[in-house]
Chains A and B, each alone.
Chain A
Amino acid sequence: DIQMTQSPSSLSASVGDRVTITCRASQGIRNDLGWYQQKPGKAPKRLIYDASSLQSGVPSRFSGSGSGTEFTLTISSLQPEDFATYYCLQDNTYPRTFGQGTKVEIK
């Protein structure tokens, strides 16, 4: 199975900060990666697909980059509604696998 390793597992940041979350795949997955945001008690919401394509309706402060084994999710200016847990997901190989999550908390 492909292991997806996210870092950091948690971070504290302030409104307006630039935040970067990294996801590393244990083997190359081309650009077959997505990013999801989950708030407590809610279903995950897709932010990014194919590593860098912004989901319709998602604010442009979210961006994704990377290919192969290393990927990043960047929030250019953190907003109050962005405090949540973020997951990466690879859909290159079965079984599909998620990263362990990154919890973004208020500093």
Chain B
Amino acid sequence: DTEVTQTPKHLVMGMTNKKSLKCEQHMGHRAMYWYKQKAKKPPELMFVYSYEKLSINESVPSRFSPECPNSSLLNLHLHALQPEDSALYLCASSLGADLTYEQYFGPGTRLTVT
């Protein structure tokens, strides 16, 4: 199984809502990542988890809250988002974070904030 799955595929939420994005992999990878991608722009790294511990937070606003309950699962909790947070949110995983391992990406969750 070389797949990273993300749910939901699409999400529409209001600015006062609380929602969560979910990412799962069963490849035994110990590093997981969240990226944000605006239309016609490259992906931007948000968070890196290594061995279930947050190792990089790229100055992301606190309305985005990551969680890694176990080595296979990564969540992104969303609260009080702004319309400019509408984007494709991509999850990725790799065998480790410290060497030159390839990252496997999921298909993304397309988020619209109204």
Chains A and B are bound partners: no
**B residues neighboring A (CB under 8 Å):** none
Q: Which residues of A contact B (CB under 8 A)?
A: none
